[in-house]
Each structure stands twice: as structure tokens, then as C-alpha cells.
Amino acid sequence: MILRRIALAGLLPLLLGACGNMLSFNEGPQSSRSSSPTSSETTQEDELIAQARREGQCRNCLVMIPTGTTNKLGNPTYKLVGLGPQKQPLYQGTVVTGRAHTQDQDRHVAGTESPAPFGVYGVEPTVRAPGSPEVGVGFIPIYAQFPTERTNLGFHHDPSFEKNNGEDGTAGCIATATRQGFYDLKKFVLDHQPQKLVLSRT
């Protein structure tokens, strides 16, 4: 079951608002908002976190939410949030999955470079050596907990993020926008060992 839909008008302030106690908050697109979140936005954030915990059935989780925006090359960006037992997120970063021109491909079909399918994944709390230069500095495996053709998915850094070289984005994995973003994600995964990733449709 995917996280239940939240109205876009209510979700965007949440996605762009500030969160406390984060390992990384300087990477990726920045919000033009300078004010603190309202009590309504805080309530929405608390509700989203509670939903993610129920969906993933875990205390420590990663939640990936569409931002409704794209990078400079038109690739949709997501907000990746790391949750621990406490209320506040422990990690936040900007990530992409798939490429700008593959977003409408069937996410369950292998070999299309489409984005990772929506759903719940298991997270392996290890960092493997990158298999190619486009995987960046390391690879954290994830495993779909639902039927799909997609395999060999995971987190890594996208060295070609916003570079006009035909490699911006991924072949289906989830990539951080910056190298430091991957290091921060790696620290969260190794320190807190999240059991699940919830990839939200909305």
C-alpha cells in the first residue's frame, strides 16, 4: 500500500519547509520561503511521518516524497527524509530517480531506465564499492518488497547531476544530488540502520 494521497497544495509547503536536527540541509534546490513552518504545516509533517512509520512498519525509516519540482535538466526531484525513533527527522536530502525522458515509462519494466517503482523497500545497511563511475562513491542496496521486474536498485551519488552529458539521473536507482549528500545518507544508514524505504507517489 502506498502512502495515501495528500493534496498538493498542502504538501508543497511541507516539502519546502525547514526541518530540525538534519545531517544535511544545504544540497539541492532551495526554497524561497524564509519563515518558519506554521502550526498547520508542522501538523502535516507529523502526520506524514506517522503514515510513513505505519506504511513501513518500522521505527527507523527512509521516506522519499516528490517535491513537484525538477532540476535544471527537467528531472523530477524528491525529498529523502531519514526518520529515527524521535519526532524530528535525522537526515534530509535531494534525490532523483530515473532520467528526465524516462519518467513516463513503466516503472516495473527492467531495462528502460525508468524511475524506481513506488512502494516499500528493505534497506541493506551496508555500503558497497561502486560498479561504475556513474555510481559515484558508493552503493547502498535496497530491495523491493512487492512484485516487480526491477532488481539491483539502491542509493548512490549522481556525478552527472544537472550536467548536460546525457547521464543526468539514474537507470532506476535513487541518487543524491551531491557527493556530500551521499556521505550524509551513508552516515544515517550506518548509524541508524533504517529497516525500510517508503517511496511515496504523492
CB within 8 A of 123, min separation 6: which ones? 62, 140, 141, 142, 189, 193, 194, 195, 196, 197
Cα distances from 72 to residues 46, 65, 88, 94, 122, in angstroms, run 31, 19, 30, 13, 31
Mean pLDDT of the region 143-149: 96
Q: What is the mean pLDDT of the chain?
A: 80
pLDDT value at 132 more than 80: yes
Please state the length of the chain: 202
pLDDT value at 168 more than 70: yes
What cell was used for 77? 526531484
What percent of the chain is predicted at pLDDT more than 90?
61
Nearest to 61 by CA among 92, 95, 84: 84
pLDDT of amino acid 13: 34
pTM value is 0.76
| pLDDT tens track for 110-123 | 999 999 999 999 99
What percent of the chain is predicted at pLDDT more than 70?
72
| pLDDT tens track for 175-187 | 999 999 999 999 9
| pLDDT tens track for 31-88 | 333 334 455 545 555 676 677 667 667 778 999 988 889 999 999 999 999 988 876 7
Nearest to 158 by CA among 143, 142, 137: 137
Q: Please, what are the domains in the chain?
A: 8-199 (2.40.440.10)
